[in-house]
Structure 1
Amino acid sequence: MNIDNNLFLTHEDINNKIRRIAYQIYESNIEENEIIIAGIAKNGFVLAKKLKATLEKISEIKPTLCEVHVNKKEPQAEIKTSLPPSEYINKSLILVDDVLNSGATLIYGVKHFLQVPLKQFKTAVLVDRNHKKYPVKADFKGISLSTSLHESVHVILEGERFGAYLD
């Protein structure tokens, strides 16, 4: 089977979703001078970088990137971030991942950032699969996709041709 048969978001679709999410982030942070965009490594961080670049084009807000490392096999293990907590205290923070599936990765990321006082905390994902096991939601999402539990979503955000595929 040709992988393009499973494509549900094209390169152009993904760029449009990123732009729309960036505008939503801007609108919810219009009074802020600086925000933290914390991307969950790997694809969540790539998405966070793209959101940062778009925010810099459309607003005066200074977005600061933070890479978040969550062990997806053991999400209760210590979470590491590229910024110390002192850098995001009392700031608006957006936690970003590419796909929201069960919610485990996001909920443990949320738990980590709640250890310090934040001005505002939101989450953003490109694809929300609607299979949550944990009470976490995406405040900003590119697309909601109802899938079976046996299907998987693969997102490619690097290279010359982005795409989101359902396997």
Structure 2
Amino acid sequence: VLVCILRIITKISLPQTPQDLQASAHFYFIVTTALLLSCMYDVADFTGKSLTAIYVMQSIKKASQSCISRLLFYPVFTACLHGPEWLKDEVLVVVVRFMLGLTNGYLTSVPMILGPKSLPVSEAELSAIALVVFLGIDLVSGSVLGWYWII
């Protein structure tokens, strides 16, 4: 049934004239590029989370500094959008987006691992709960700020 609905919607949305076909193709590639960038980010995020099985930073201070240094991605993305012409390249956006996902996955997992390990056993469970609560707050606030940035 879902495949049938998908096919019907696809057929309905296809253009009927050559001019509409050209406009539709341009729109299709914009949507496809955004979808592929999102999928690539998710794969990089998963890869970053999987990297903690191989290597985990042992210093909470270095992990905190790494998290704060991720703020440097914001000016890089801004430069890709509004900077000089040589920075307005799709390859740079793809590489930076991949690095953002990779560091997001890795630097999300590292504090979740190191936080409870750095405390006595009696307080480790409570610290893990606090980390998960703050992770949830971060996810919600990031989503809200993301929509605010779009508007």
Pick the TM interval, shorter chain.
Answer: under 0.3
Higher strand share: 1
Structure (1 or 2) with the larger CA radius of gyration: 2
Q: TM-score, normalising length from structure 1?
A: 0.25
